[in-house]
Structure 1
């Protein structure tokens, strides 16, 4: 292990999540699992509400320990859940849902609409305008989702971070000593300035203060000045992102070092949880035009993850 220790897994057991995901009968997409992890790893008290739904061929089943104990008889074609994502002060529930890969697109549309009406009865008109459909077969998102999802294959292991956390090394090009470190509040403006995704200083400060996700946020720092020169964030949906290297320090692999450290730390946490949070793997969003990120994540073992085998839909 070359990264700092991460907190022990503390999955919330109030909901029968393991029983819920068992109805998938096939690997669930990382996007679905990552947003479910926002709830089950939440440290907020009281915990924001979350509701689980089984999507049957004819009905929507509010899933609970009682319904599981009673054994669901109807064939299940999909899963869904609502939760309040309070990362940016949201108070209204969001909906995420997934359908079996064998379900026909027309059935997906019909059952998705039924689930939205059931789960968010007062938000139907607003939610339907922001439907994201990440699939090769279903191309109806408006605006079209501009990213592809890249993920580490399920049988792959994260690469080892090349430098020991907290142990300085010499950068031959500048003569500076560099060190892998966690982000601190003073780093937030630089992290936001390097982002093209519209991040904010309050959001980064929330990550830095988070008892779990702060341990995933890695920066490469100049020892003499404390300046962060490369970094990688793991969002609370377990998406890797905001990777950046300052121009004067590029072509040394520092961004890749930060990604490897962040990925190793978050993967160690996931692996410590029962069932590995049900198969959640490191994943990220990359645009078609960002060839540099495609090459870097490809070198770390990531492959495009969206295809005909997964039809994932969710409200924004």
Structure 2
């Protein structure tokens, strides 16, 4: 039997404005709804939820502008919702119904809308983001390309090729690493040699790390560094230690029970409910009801059609 995992005490989370908290709660209930729909047999294929990590795209979105490009990955629903506030279009895309963002051909992982692009191929987005950053440097100074990756993506050669080009060419590339400690079913400790900081340093790329789940704290920490990316056209790797409290995909959570319990104990959702009960209770009920309304509406829609 595995030994219990100690969970350190955390300071209270900062009080958020209603808009930020409602967005985080919307992402949470959207992801829970997806898992419920899969369990009911109403969705096909697969999906990768960001349960436990919702605060990251919300914190980052407060540092981005409409001119920036966002590149997401297989676990990207929160990134999309933080960018576009469009649960109905996203759910329609995943369910293949009318009103789908990409006419139902992209599904959960491959979405293109305005300056947002997601892909299910690990590391694929970074060379593309570097190319977009090069164009932004030339045509839209001050804008940047923000690419979300996981700790497991550091096993892909494309990561290093992109960092090399970004530093040599001085590109406004922001790499956000959602480090949840496990690559699908493989603990990061047994598949990643050295550190992410060390790997960024090998290319003379700046690196910042935080284990905070506090949106205000993250924005205060990262704000000056993100402004330097824009001003100086130099890449930055932001490593955010986080916790995936759900499965990798639907039901395949292979972590021992003590590890799952420890991750759940660190969950921002539980902590914020204790720290700011009145606001949380009010907005949690609102987000839950709004996502339920979206799900019921999308269920009634006809199949999407792609007119090439």
Q: TM-score, normalised by structure 2?
A: 0.29
More helix by share: 2
Determine which structure has more spread, i.e. the larger CA radius of gyration. 1
What's the TM-score, normalizing by structure 1? 0.28
Going by fraction, where is strand more abundant, 1 or 2? 1
